[in-house]
Structure 1
Amino acid sequence: MKNIKLLFFIGSFVMLQYSCTSDSIEFDPQGAISSEVVFTDPAFAETFLNAVYNSIPHGFNRGWYMLDAATDDAENSYTWPASNTQLNTANITSNSSPFNGLWGNAYFQIRRLNNFIQNYDQLEGSDEVNNRLKGEAHFLRGYYYALLLRTFGGVPIITVPQELTDDLLVPRNTAEETLSFIVSELDTSADLFTNATSASSTRGSWDAAMALKGRVLLYEGKFPESAIASKQVLDNTSRTLDSDYGSVFVTDGASEVIFDTQFSDPDKTHWANLFNTPKSTAAVSGWGGTGPTQNLVDQYEMQATGLLPEEAGSGYDANNPYEGRDPRFDASILYDGSEWKGLTWEFRPGGFAGIASSGDFTRTGYGLKKMMQEDRNHRERSTQHWIHIRLAEVYLNYAEALIESDTNLGLAVDAINMVRNRVNMPAIAVGSQSELRERVRRERRVELAFEEHRFWDIRRWNIAGTPEVLTIYRVDMDTDGNLIDDGKEIWETRTWNNANLKFPIPQGEIDKNSNLSQNSGYN
Structure 2
Amino acid sequence: MKKYIIKSVFLLSILLTIGCSDDEYLDKQPPDQLTSENFWRNAEDARSGLTAAYSELEARSNFWDGWQEGRSVVEYFRSDYVLPGPDATNYSHWMSIYNFNYTNGHIFLDVLWSTNYKGINFSNQVIKNVSEMTADQISNSEKEQILGEAYFLRGYYHFKLLTLFEQIIIRDDIVAPATLDKALATRPEAWDFVMQDFKTASDRLSFEIQPQDYGRANKGAALGYLGKAYMYKAGDESSNTSDDYQNAAEAFAKVIESGQYALVDDFKSLFNGENENNKESIFELQFKSGDATSYNATRLHSFVADWAIGGWGGILADDRLVAEMKEEGMIAENGLYDNRLYSTLYFDDPYFNDESTKRMEGSTWDSLIEATYGDPNAKDDVAIFRKWLPEPLEGNGYIGLNVTLLRYADVLLMYAEALNETGNTEKAVELINEVRTLHGNVPAVALNSKEEVFEQLMHERVMELSLESTRFFDLRRWGMLDEAMSAAGRNGFNAQEHSYLPIPLSEIQTNTEIN
TM-score (norm 1): 0.79
Q: Which one of the candidate residues 344, 366, 370 is aligned to 1:351?
A: 370
CA distance in 2, matches of 1:96, 1:422: 42
Aligned pair in 2 of structure 1 residues 64, 231: CA closer, same or farther (>3 Å)?
Answer: closer
Q: Given residue 84 of structure 2, which amino acid in structure 1 is its aligned partner?
A: N
Among candidates 303, 312, 326, match of residue 287 of structure 1 = 312
Alpha carbons of 1:105 and 1:390: their partners in 2 closer, same or farther (altered >3 Å)? same
Match of 1:232 among 250, 254, 271: 254
1:248-267 matches, cutoff 5 A = 248-249=270-271, 250=273, 251-266=275-290, 267=295
For 1:200 and 1:415, the matched residues in 2 are separated by 30
| Structure-2 residue corresponding to 1:464 | 481
Structure 2: runs of 5+ lacking an equivalent: 19-31, 60-65, 235-243, 353-358
**1:95-494 correspondence to structure 2 within 5 Å:** 95-96=105-106, 98-121=108-131, 122=133, 124-164=137-177, 166-194=178-206, 200-221=213-234, 222-249=244-271, 250=273, 251-266=275-290, 267-280=295-308, 284-301=309-326, 308-309=328-329, 324-336=336-348, 337=350, 338=352, 339-346=359-366, 351-354=370-373, 364-405=381-422, 407-423=423-439, 424-466=441-483, 468-472=484-488, 493-494=490-491
Q: Please name the residue that 1:41 is paired with.
A: 42
Q: 1:504 aligns with which of 498, 502, 505?
A: 502
Q: 1:94 aligns with which of 83, 104, 117?
A: 104
- Residue 29 of structure 1 and its aligned partner are, at CA, apart by 8.9
Deviation at 1:63, TM superposition (A): 4.7
User: Are residues 19 and 188 of structure 1, via their aligned partners in 2, closer, same or farther at CA, if it must alter by over 3 Å?
Assistant: closer
Deviations 1:212-262 (A, max 9, x none): 000011001021111111111111141111111110122322221111111
CA distance, structure 1, for counterparts of residue 158 and residue 408 of structure 2:
22
Letter in 2 for 1:273: H
2:269 aligned partner, one-letter code: S
- For 2:426 and 2:214, the matched residues in 1 are separated by 31
Query: CA separation in 1, counterparts of 2:420 and 2:82?
Result: 27
Q: Structure 1 vs Structure 2: percent identity of aligned residues? A: 25
Report which of the two has the higher share of helix. 2
3-state SS in 2 of match to 1:366: strand
Distance change (3 Å), C-alpha of 1:60 and 1:508: closer
Alignment check: 8 A CA contact 2:305 2:311 kept: yes
**Aligned counterparts, 1:29-68, within 5 A:** 30=18, 35-36=36-37, 38-57=39-58, 61-63=68-70, 65-66=72-73, 67-68=75-76
Whole-angstrom CA distance in 1 between matches of 2:51 and 2:71: 25
Residue of structure 2 equivalent to 1:8: none
SS at match of 2:283: strand
The letter of the residue matching 2:429 is: V
Tell whether the 8 Å contact from 1:239 to 1:256 is kept in structure 2 after alignment: yes
**CA contact under 8 A between 2:8 and 2:48: conserved in structure 1?**
no
Q: How much has 1:427 moved relative to structure 2?
A: 1.2
Preserved CA contact (<8 Å) 1:470 1:495: no
Q: Is the 8 A contact 2:83 2:318 kept in 1?
A: yes
What is the alpha-carbon distance in structure 1 between the residues aligned to residue 370 and residue 215 of structure 2? 41
In structure 2, the CA distance between the partners of 1:373 and 1:170, relative to structure 1 (3 Å rule), is same
Amino acid at match of 1:413: V
Q: Report the Cα distance in structure 2 between the residues aligned to 1:353 and 1:299, rounded to whole angstroms.
A: 27
Change over 3 Å in CA distance of 1:237–1:315 after alignment to 2:
closer
- Give distance in 2, aligned partners of 1:429 and 1:246: 26
Please give the secondary structure, in 1, of the residue aligned with 2:458.
helix
Q: Structure 1: give runs of 5+ residues left out of the alignment.
A: 1-16, 302-306, 317-321, 473-491, 518-523
Residue-pair matches, total: 457
TM-score normalised by the chain length of structure 2:
0.80
- Give distance in 2, aligned partners of 1:21 and 1:196: 28
Instruction: Look up the equivalent residue of 1:417 and give its one-letter code.
Output: N
Counterpart amino acid of 1:220? K
Once the two structures are TM-superposed, the CA of residue 43 in structure 1 deviates from its matched residue by 2.3
Shift of 1:431: 2.3
Change over 3 Å in CA distance of 1:120–1:443 after alignment to 2: same
Quote the Cα distance in structure 2 between the aligned partners of 1:370 and 1:167: 42
Distance in structure 2 (CA, Å) of the matches to 1:21 and 1:456: 32
Does the aligned pair in 1 maintain the 2:81–2:321 contact within 8 Å? yes
- CA drift of 1:385 comes to 0.7
Query: Corresponding residue for 1:489?
Result: none
Matched, 1:26 2:14: yes
The CA RMSD over aligned residues, in Å, is 3.2
